[in-house]
Each structure stands twice: as structure tokens, then as C-alpha cells.
Structure 1
Amino acid sequence: MPSPQSAIQDMAEPKVKLTDIAYEQIEEAIITLRIPPGSVISELTLSEMLNIGRTPIREAIQRLAREHLLLVLPQRGLLVPEIDLRKQLKLLETRREVERLICKSAARRALPEERERFTRLHDEFIHAAATDDDVAFLRADREFNELSLVAARNEFAEGAMRLMHGLSRRFWYFHYKQAADVPEMARLHAAVAGAIAKGDVNAAGETLDQLLDNIETFTKATLMSDM
């Protein structure tokens, strides 16, 4: 007969899993613009769209609100914020310092099984580059971001980075057709993943800087084209 503690864990696991699924699906819908900026949606609409119960949806909404991908409007629903170009440049300034720390820490501290996942992600990025597949790239990017946060083992840097990942990915997807190069972006991500997989701390920092240089150039080009 299972212990009371294990029974409680068994009851909790499906709820945690559904919350993660709800979060990932709503985040992807926002980032890939299936739910476009400026949209007002409801908790019920999301629950019906994903066929997931209201409690996991509500928990996913709370997480997305913390990451500034949703704004909760009391009595009115959920607003997907518009994209602000100038705020994006401020975000990049902060992201560079935090993400460099995360990538170098991940290269230093990743466990063997995590390094294997970084190697697999390196290959997925290379495949996305070869096929020019933007959705495959975004999915690999999300997994890379999550794995980097875990492997870095720095809860303070993780907290700061989680506030920036979703906004950065949505901005890129919204504007990439006018100024970005998906294969090049995927190759730059592959270089960072490969450096972390090999435990090369210096290369992890250097390749991350090259990636963010590319993103900053893309962001400034987007800003100039919209002025």
C-alpha cells in the first residue's frame, strides 16, 4: 500500500504536468502570434481551446503574467500586450549580462545527462538552420532556455531571465521576416549549445555575445524601419 506522502505526490503530478502543458501551449500561441498583440481573451476561451481544465489554465496565466506576456484585466479578461521596440532594447541590455552568466555557469555546472541534451539541441538547431523552420527553431530555443536555467543552478539569475525569455522570443518572431535570418540565428544558438555541451566556459560566453550582437543588430534595424 503506498504511503500517504507518495499518494499525495501521485495526486499532485498530473496537475503539475497539465499546468506545464497549458503554459507551453499558451506561450507558443502568443509568441507565434496565433494570439496576436492587443488581443483580449478569457480564461474560459483558453480552457476550451486547449481542452484543459480551468485550474491548470489559471496557474499558467499567473506565470505568463509574471513574464509580461499576459496582462490580467479585472472583470474584463486577459490582454496580450503590444510590442514596444524601445523597451526591447532595454531588455536586451539587461539580458546580455544575465544570460552570459547563465550560459557560462551552465558550461561549468551541467551534469552529464544535461550535456547530452545540449548536444541534441545543437543538432536540432543545425537542422532548423538547414530547413529554415522557424517553429522548430522556436521550440528548440524554448527547450534550450529552460535547460540552461536548470544547468546554471543559480536561482537568482533564473528568476531574472524568466522575465525576459518570452518577450524576447515574441519580438523576434513578430519581426523576423523583415530583418532576421532564421538559419543564421539557429546556427548561433547551435554554437552556444555546443560550447555548453563541451564544458567550454569561455566559448559559451563568447558565442553568447555573438548571438546577442546579432539580436541587437536585428532589433535596431527593426526600430529604424518602423520610425
Structure 2
Amino acid sequence: MITQDQVAALQSEMDSNGENQAQMAYRILEEMIVTLKLPPGSKISEKSLNRSLGFGRTPLREALQRLAIEGTVRILPRSGVIVSDIDMADQLNMIEVRRELEKIMAGRAARLALDAQRQTFSALALKFELAGKQDDEGIFIETDREFNSLVVSTAQNKYVAYAIAPIEAQTRRFWYLHFKRFGDLARVASLHANIARAIAANDEAHARHSSDLLLDYVEEYTRNTLRFMGGL
């Protein structure tokens, strides 16, 4: 379960970002599910969450409804809320959609990035390379979260942002479950760094191409994982 110190840190971040309690509850719950603190099949107790997170019933229910729409949880009448299983067979379908959405976002971000954003993307590229060089999953996860958020805000397309959010949540859950066994952190970090550098250079064509190369790897890694798990 998430600690009180983590809640306090997120509360401070919420205040700086102007988020309301429902948005913050959603982010905390989504993070707990993605990182498998709430694993597939586990039951979510509103009362327990209320005690541990300090949110009221209304914000929690709004957050759970949003997660249900995205397919992350299932709300069962008279049975409560259950964290959805990870649909192994559906991963390749999600990658097909994710590829096109991320290519749109990378291209738009490269075209629209201003000087301050370009500097941040350059800094993120260095962090990705550091994560790969040190084989440090913690640095990669933190950098990837910042990178994804910056790409979405820089791309300035709310429709793509809405469409990619649930797909990213499901693919992150798959990543947490299997990447240590089947993934290559140095390779995926380098592929992310290439996208960040292309955006920093306002090179739309290269950003789109680099996004495609990343998704080529994601598809390769996913197929290898599914093959090993007996899903292909």
C-alpha cells in the first residue's frame, strides 16, 4: 500500500498542478495498479482506501469510475471493485493503436516544441542514456514518466492525449510484470533518448521515425514475452 509520505508528496504536487481530489485519487490508484501494488484480481476496498489515502467517498468513486472506463478495474454489482486481469492476447492490438498515436504525438511535439521545452527534452535524453548505462530501472521509470507527460503537453492535442492514456496504463502494467525477465533496458532507454533528441531538434520526420523504431522494439519484446508465456 502507498505510504503516508508518498501521499503527502503527491498532495504537494497536486496543489502545484491545480488538480482536484478526484484527479489525484485517480493518479494514485492508477500508479498502485500499474506498479502491481494492487495486482490483477485484487479487490479494492473503498473504506480501506479512505483510511489510507484520506480521500472522501465522492473523489474515490469518481477515480474508480474513470479506471473502469479505461478497463483497469471492474465494478461488479454487490461484489465491489476488482483490479482487471492483464489481457495477454490483447497486447498486440494495443500496440497497433499505440504506434499511430505515439507517432502523431512525437511529430507534433517536434513541430511545436519551444525553446524551454526543447531544453527539457535534451536533458531527458541524457537521463535516458544514464539509465541505460547504469542499468537503473528507477531512473528510467522516473524519466519516462516525465517524458510522456511532456510529450503530451507539447503535442497540444487533447484527443490524442485522451486516447493514449488508457493504452499507456495497460502497457505499463505489462511492462512491470514482464520487463525484468524479457526486456533490454539499455536498448529501450536509447530508443527513448533518440525520440527526445529529435523533438529537441524540432525534427518532426526523425521524431516520427524514432517513435516507430521504439514501437518496433516494443512489439518485438511483447511477441517474445507472449511466445514464452504460451500466448502465441
Q: Please, which moves more after superposition, 86-95 or 29-38?
A: 29-38
1: CA distance between counterparts of 2:134 and 2:50?
A: 33
Q: Are 2:117 and 1:118 equivalent residues in the alignment?
A: no
Larger mean CA deviation between 184-193 and 17-26 belongs to: 17-26
Computed over aligned residues only, the root mean square deviation of the Cα atoms, in angstroms, reads: 2.2
Q: Does 1:136 align with 2:139?
A: yes
Contact 1:118 1:144 in 2 (8 A): yes
Q: CA separation in 2, counterparts of 1:24 and 1:199? A: 30
Q: Which amino acid aligns with 1:192?
A: I
User: Which sits farther off after the overlay, 96-105 or 124-133?
Assistant: 124-133
Q: Would you say the 8 A contact 1:106–1:151 is kept in 2?
A: yes
Distance in 1, matches of 2:62 and 2:183, equals: 33
Matched ranges for 1:135-214 at <5 A: 135-214=138-217
> Could you tell me which residue of structure 2 aligns to residue 69 of structure 1?
72
Assess if the C-alpha contact under 8 Å between 1:138 and 1:169 holds in 2: no
Deviation larger for 150-159 or 121-130: 121-130
Which segment is superposed worse, 210-219 or 114-123?
114-123
Runs of 4+ in 1 over 6 A off after TM superposition: 12-15
Residue 3 of structure 1 is matched in structure 2 by: none
Q: How many residues align?
A: 216
Q: 1:179 to 1:82 in 2, by over 3 A?
A: same
Question: TM-score under structure 2 normalisation?
Answer: 0.83
What is the CA–CA distance in structure 1 between the aligned matches of 2:149 and 2:86, rounded to whole Å?
23
Give the residue type in structure 1 aligned to 2:122.
T
TM-superposed deviation, 1:14: 8.8
Structure 1: gaps of 5 or more residues = 1-11
Residue-by-residue CA offset, 1:162-185 (whole Å, 9 max, x unaligned)? 221110111111111221012221
Is 1:25 the counterpart of 2:28? The answer is yes
Aligned residue for 1:16, secondary structure, equals coil
Residue 104 of structure 2 is aligned to residue 101 of structure 1: yes
2:19 match: secondary structure:
helix
Kept after mapping to 2: 8 A contact 1:100/1:208: yes
**5+ long unaligned stretches in structure 2:** 1-14
- TM-score of the superposition, structure 1-length normalised? 0.85
CA shift in 2, pair 1:13/1:65, >3 Å = farther
- CA gap of 1:134–1:14, structure 2 versus 1, over 3 A, is closer
What percent identity do the matched residue pairs reach? 41
- In the TM superposition, what whole-angstrom CA distance separates every residue of 1:4-45 from its partner, at most 9, and x where no partner exists? xxxxxxxx9897254444333322221121111111112222
